[in-house]
Amino acid sequence: MASTRKRGTVLPVVSLVLAAGLVGCHGGGQGGTAPNAAPQSTVRAAQAGLHGDLNGSGTPDITDAVGILRIIVGLDPANAIADCDCDGATGITDAIALLRCLVGFDPWPITCGPAPGDQMTGPDGQTLVWVPPGSFMMGSEEGYNHEKPVHQVTLDGFWVGQCEVTNDLYAGFLNEARPADVTGWLRTSHPYCGVEYVEGVYRAKDSLGAYPVVLVSWYGAVAYCEHYGYALPTEAQWEYAAAGPDARRYPWGADWDEAKCCNNNNTGPYDMTFPVGSFPDGVSWCGALDMAGNVGEWCADWYAWDYYEESPSLNPPGAADGYTRALRGNSYYDSRGADFRCACRKNFVPESQFDYHGFRCAWNG
């Protein structure tokens, strides 16, 4: 019943838009457009690429609805961005969908396809969750200087690993890739490494298959991702998957709770990590787990302390070059709540292999 009442409120608005946008303010007659004059579009080419945003302003407004209606009656050429109900065509329901966003009945931006947290299985067998396109305020004014200034970032939608890559998954990758020398990727000689090489086969050590792979370098993380068609998430993608459109302080909300992640005051059975996905109460808005704690996670970006001062607002890729690579999420090794904030940044040389470093994958397809 509530939905019926809301649609009833929007329909009169559609009628007004039809009258104003298609006929003109005076309804025809003297002062109107000459019958044989070429129609002049009331919208400009879309810039933002958001469904319904025909004028490229980034927000829904009446001129967008007018633009959709002009397409419907043939005054303007077809435009895929006008498809607001995601049915592959342009009709009156698209104008209604746009206007529902305008008056606050439905969320903006309009997204077609998967919903936040929808799942798919990747080529390596891991579960990925959908992070829809959108904007958020990246960074923090309460944190370290390299987290400033807070700035708006807009991202295309992408898939991200629900969990960190495990020892089982990484061992399977090594058996497929068969590198001549694994030492630059994974420090298998370290007693804390959860992957071992036995009789010509890589395998997870007993009972450690579901734990996150550690002692992996940035190069080892990239090699895994590229083998399966993934990429490491950028810092912006990582923070958005953790914090969401509301820019949460922690993946689960505003307040620090050490019981919701693996940290130095809440370690796993071996005084280190937990099996991935062990903290469902710490889940992020898009369904990603362990975004705080367990292991720090390599990101694709070169790290630059002042990058936020020059970062582009659309799909920022990170610095053009540098000495260290970005790392996010922190680990069982840390205990300060402030270090588990979604906006907290770390960096290490890409060759480094520590028992508190791991990674998760992203897929932009």
Spell out the domain ranges in the chain.
Answer: 2-102, 119-167+185-363
Residue pair 360/166 in contact (Cβ under 8 Å)? The answer is: no
CATH architecture of 119-167+185-363: Alpha-Beta Complex (3.90)
**pLDDT by 10s per residue, the chain, length 365:** 333 334 444 445 445 444 444 443 333 333 333 333 333 333 333 334 688 898 888 888 999 999 999 999 999 988 888 988 888 789 999 889 989 998 988 888 887 778 888 999 999 999 999 999 999 999 999 989 999 999 999 999 999 999 999 999 999 999 999 999 999 999 999 999 999 999 999 999 999 999 999 999 999 999 999 999 999 999 999 999 999 999 999 999 999 999 999 999 999 999 999 999 999 999 999 999 999 999 999 999 999 999 999 999 999 999 999 999 999 999 999 999 999 999 999 999 999 999 999 999 999 97
Angle at 358 between CA 356 and CA 362, to 5 degrees: 155
* Predicted structure pTM score: 0.75
**Chain position carrying tokens 């007993």:** 206
Identify any residues that bridge with 253 across adjacent strands, giving them in sequence order. Answer: 250
**Max alpha carbon distance in the chain (Å)?**
91
